[in-house]
Amino acid sequence: MSSIPAVHVAYVAPHDLVRQLRAMKEAFLGTTEIVLARELTKLYEEFWSGSIEEAIHEFTVNREPKGEFTILVQNQGGGAADAGDAQGETSSPPRYSKVLESLMRAGMSSSEAAKALVEISQLPLKKKEVYNEA
């Protein structure tokens, strides 16, 4: 699965955030870009983006995690998927309906979910195309 470009979504309690981020740092690379969405659909809704290492620093040094978090991590893929592209083969565009469904179940509107997915993805995605899948 590490060869498939995908967005991973996790729901995390505030007391478990740093532990989960450290585990993600091991599983992915510490420089992998993530988006943290806090308190979705609530008054104190907040989005934070940066690398996993920056997130660990932010929530251990700068501030204490408060509220429920949704973590979005872009898996860059590699191996077989990239080899096909290098040979001139084109693959069908990835579909993100499951990720969008998860974000909307967490309380995001389809527009907010599409925006968050485009922000974390390093693929050439357009918000309108992702939104149309929602």
70 DSSP β-pair partners: 11, 37
Q: With beta carbons less than 8 A apart as the criterion, state whether 73 and 7 touch.
A: yes
Q: With beta carbons less than 8 A apart as the criterion, state whether 3 and 80 touch.
A: yes
48 DSSP β-pair partners: 36
* pLDDT tens-digit map of 41-84: 778 888 888 888 999 999 999 999 998 898 888 766 543 333 33
pTM of the model: 0.56
Which residue pairs from 55-59 have beta carbons closer than 8 angstroms and sit at least 24 positions apart in sequence? 55/21, 56/18, 56/21, 56/22, 56/25, 59/17, 59/18, 59/21
Compute the C-alpha angle 102/55/16, nearest 5°.
65
* pLDDT tens-digit map of 70-126: 888 876 654 333 333 333 333 334 466 777 777 777 777 888 877 777 776 656 677
Residue in 55, 36, 45 with CA at minimum distance from that of residue 109: 45
Ordered strands of the 6-12 beta sheet: 6-12, 69-75, 33-38, 46-51
